[in-house]
Structure 1
Amino acid sequence: MTVKSFVFAGLALPLLIPATAFAQNAPPACLAGREAVWLGGAEVAELSGAALQSEVSTGSGGSLLAAFRVTGDERPLRIELGNHSQGDPHLTLYTASGTMITEMDDYEGTLASRIEHNLAPGDYCALARDVSNGPLTATLRVSEMSDTPIVTAQGRASMAACTAATEAVTLDDAALAKALGDYTFLSETFSADQGPKYLRFNLPGNAGLRLTATSSQADPVITLYNAAGEQVAENDDADGTNARLDLLGNLAAGTYCLGATSIGGGSGEIRVSVGGVDPAEVLRDAYRQGQIPPPSSANYPVEALDLTSAEPQVKLLGGSALWFSFDIEERQVVILNAYAAATGMDTRMALFDVSGRQITENDDANGSTDPQIGPVLLEPGSYRLALVQLGADSTTGQMRAASLSAQRYLRAK
């Protein structure tokens, strides 16, 4: 509760209604540091018949935490975030005490979210946001299972295999050969609501190839076919919600066709690119996405993390992972926490030993989108920690603040 609402409640409301009535009608404090609003704007959003519904409209990094009350018997209910005209909806369901019940991103081939769950009488909260923490315009709805849903299964927009008879944009051989050698790209842009797009090209042997489909609104997927129309490779979300395939000289020379479409037939422009890729760039992408710790020879920024400091480290986190290093001199239990939900980020942490082996990782802990590593018992040695913003493009993610802190537990001497 903010200072403003505390003063209002303490000075004005007791003159109008009993304090017990105000407490009963206040939305539950589902998430620490967040104020919920009753779904639909009612004094109390009580699901006892008609569906409850609110329109969600947020800017980048924004979200809506909407509360509702279930009365009567325990029963299955439907919580939906759909009818979106902007963004990729992500929905999380919490108890009144802040325990996460479940979450949903893409429901059965759509970009919308739909949760169906047995709920006992009590108060609950639904957190509505864009999966990449961008702007979101959508409808949040809670209803009985007998009501008509607003989110229905669609499946992927149909993308037939690309054969010699398939209509496609044919890339120029000389221009592609130059792009492969220069590590540049040939691109085509199309609207997702037009259906699949195909690019046909002739590939010389032993060429490093990068294939991408990027979009600020749609969720693209790409499939590579050989001359016989057989699928060679496919990717959906390699980099946030963008698709990417890196093929390092392992394709035979010949004719290939790249197909691209949008999951759930979403709207927005999709940019499809074919070009060369530097193997060193593939490694840098792995570092940027927190997949593998960079060696010292990579000259990738790695900051020292002081586990003994009582002060948290506050950093700016964008689409690229932040890497930290620390040394353990004696056997001890360590807990690492990152806090960024309040700034609109969903983050993940991964811990590696000196050999590059991932020891453990975590996405969501303690009923929030903030991660926690541990308690984990660490032996003496050197360690690397990655902090990553989920759902963000590794090169263009919006920058926001994140706080990192540590706790240690040593054997008493």
Structure 2
Amino acid sequence: MGGALPAAAQDQALAADATFCGGLSANGQWLGGTESASDLAAANAHLEQMALVLQNNEYVGLFSLSAPAAVRLEAQGRGSGDPAIDLYDEGGAVVLSDDDSGGDGAARAETELQPGRYCLAMRSYDGSPMTGFVRVGRTEHEALTTGADTPAAPPTDPAMPPAEDPDATGLDAACDPATLSTFLGEGEPLDRLLANGPVTATATANEVPFWGFRLETPAALSITAENPDADPSITITDEFGGYLADNDDWDGLNSRIDLSAPLQPGSYCLQVNALADTAQPITVTVAPFDVQAAQIGLYERGEASPPLDGSYPVTALGPVDGRLRQDVRTDDTAAWLSFEVGQPGLIVIEAVTNNLGDPSLVLFDEVGRQIAFNDDNGGSYDALVAARVMPGTYLVGVRQFGDGAQALTRMLLELYVPTQPAP
């Protein structure tokens, strides 16, 4: 490859350029930050990374073993996230898979592994976006999860005051439409009220764990629950208790359910939980489902790339020939930049804030296929992606983690092309 990379960037480029695990490593991140620091046999403690899994996508963590070892592999989602893991050996064969062996929806597996390089893939069980933690360690290292066979907690003390009893909120109970006393829109059919705008209500999860609502005509809806300090999660069921949908951490810690297929006339129940603080107010909003707004939301969260027809703001950087630098003021909405590649090579893109921000990067080709994603590279809050590219147009999105977060971010794009043999 032409040019020279810093040591950490060389390791990241190597990860993207390698073909082990059947090519899965191309979009992987070394769990120790660099390849040399990801040898689990020589590690003094476990290796761990926090990972954002976009919709119908997966995170791939890379590690190696210089000697045989008994290892523990774990993944734990934030909130109600339900991770599943697959471990691939260097040749791309699946060594093991797990979903719920860690307890409370977490994934966990313990096994003996031989020397080599490995890829641990974490995905959301139902394909929804999820933030989680991936940890690999030898069995003597500290575990991330409790394990599914951990004994249950002792029964609650009958003398405990109701306010301190977790069941007193009713958050773990099923919704009974016959006993509902709190309705969105004060019991009026929502399809009538939505003609005048969204319907909104605010209460704590302690005060109102269940909101009821009625429809007289079919309606496609978007339902949100907002307050990051509460970390809300929501579940919607029909009048017979049948599950319809749920969500946690749709964008940051807020939740949203998009029901693009119209709900039929009838009564429905919305369960609202607070995973962080049940005493914090949560604002619930019901609005008509808007296809265009939903698509723009994907662009703003970096889950899909915008079109290049001028209908959505994209900063054109032009061709990348060697190195290109651009300063961008970023916030929690993805800023999009496009660039041109004229010859096959390796593109390395960095988002640098020197720990004054927490940026993430996502890279798409011109067709809209996601090529790479990264957050928190090399033990810092800055981000780096490296991927093979062919001639064409690419889009990179950069956003800050956290509601309302802002930072001046320096974008650095470097294209490395294969050296040509001497004549």
- SS of corresponding position for 1:355: coil
Aligned Cα root-mean-square deviation (Å): 3.7
Structure 2 counterparts to residues 230-269 of structure 1, below 5 A: 230-269=242-281
Q: Secondary structure of 1:286's match?
A: helix
What are the equivalent positions in structure 2 for 1:115-126 lying under 5 Å apart?
Answer: none
> Cα distance 1:190–1:386, how it changes in 2: closer, same or farther (>3 A)?
same
Aligned to 2:347: 334
Conserved? CA contact 1:157–1:265, under 8 Å: no
Partners of 1:256 and 1:107 lie apart in 2 by 24
Alpha-carbon distance, 1:276 to partner: 1.5
Deviation of the 1:372 alpha carbon: 1.0
Q: Percent identity?
A: 30
1:8-407 matched pairs, under 5 angstroms: 106=78, 158-172=171-185, 176-181=190-195, 184-192=197-205, 194=206, 196-297=208-309, 299-306=311-318, 307-308=320-321, 310=323, 312-340=325-353, 342-345=355-358, 347-374=359-386, 376-390=387-401, 392-393=402-403, 397-407=404-414
Name the SS of the counterpart of 1:249 in structure 2: strand
Residue 392 of structure 2 aligns with an amino acid whose one-letter code is G
Gaps of 5+ in 1: 1-73, 78-101, 110-144, 146-152
* Pair 107,211 (structure 1): closer, same or farther in 2 beyond 3 Å: closer
Displacement, 1:267?
3.7
Given that 1:157 and 1:262 are in contact with CA atoms closer than 8 Å, whether structure 2 keeps it comes out as no
Distance across 2 between alignment mates of 1:292 and 1:316: 20
The TM-score normalised by the length of structure 2 is 0.56
Q: CA deviation at 1:185?
A: 1.8
**Any idea what the Cα deviations from partners look like across 1:302-328, whole Å, max 9, x if unmatched?**
111353475631111112101111111
Q: How big is the shift at 1:358? A: 0.9
The change in CA–CA distance for 1:298 and 1:199 in structure 2 (over 3 A counts) is farther
Aligned partners of 1:409 and 1:268: how far apart in 2? Answer: 50
Equivalent pairs, count: 272
Q: In structure 1, what residue type is equivalent to 2:357?
A: G
In the superposition, relative to structure 1, how do residues 108 and 270 fare at CA in structure 2: closer, same or farther (>3 Å)?
A: closer
Q: Which moved more, 1:223-232 or 1:197-206?
A: 197-206
State the secondary structure of the residue aligned to 1:241. Answer: coil
Q: Note closer, same or farther for the CA distance 1:76–1:406 as it changes in structure 2 (3 Å cut).
A: closer
Map Cα deviations across residues 366-388 of structure 1 (whole Å, 9 max, x no partner): 122222111x2211111111112
For 1:263, the aligned partner's letter is L
Q: How many angstroms apart in 2 are the aligned matches of 1:370 and 1:364?
A: 5
Letter aligned with residue 262 of structure 2: N
Q: Kindly indicate whether the alpha-carbon contact (under 8 Å) linking 2:357 and 2:381 is maintained by their aligned counterparts in 1.
A: no
- Does the 8 A contact of 2:171 with 2:272 survive in 1? no
Q: Deviations over 1:278-309 (max 9, x none)?
A: 11100010110011111134711111135347
Partner of 1:280, secondary structure, is: helix
* Structure 2: gaps (5+ residues): 1-42, 47-73, 82-141, 143-152, 154-165
**CA distance 1:237–1:224, shift in 2 (3 Å):** same
Separation (CA, whole Å) in 1 of partners of 2:277 and 2:419:
60
The SS at the match of 1:250 is: strand
Do the aligned residues in 1 keep the contact of 2:324 with 2:414 (CA within 8 Å)?
no
Q: SS of the residue aligned with 2:303?
A: coil
Q: 1:244 to 1:280 in 2, by over 3 A?
A: same
- Please state whether the residue corresponding to 2:175 is helix, strand or coil: coil
- 2:158: which partner in 1? none
Q: Distance in 1 between matches of 2:331 and 2:393?
A: 26
Shift of 1:175: 6.7
Q: Is the 2:235–2:272 Cα contact (8 Å) retained in structure 1? A: yes
**Structure 1 residue 360 displacement after superposition:** 1.8
Matched to 1:384, the amino acid is L
**Cα 1:380–1:322 shift into 2, 3 Å:** same
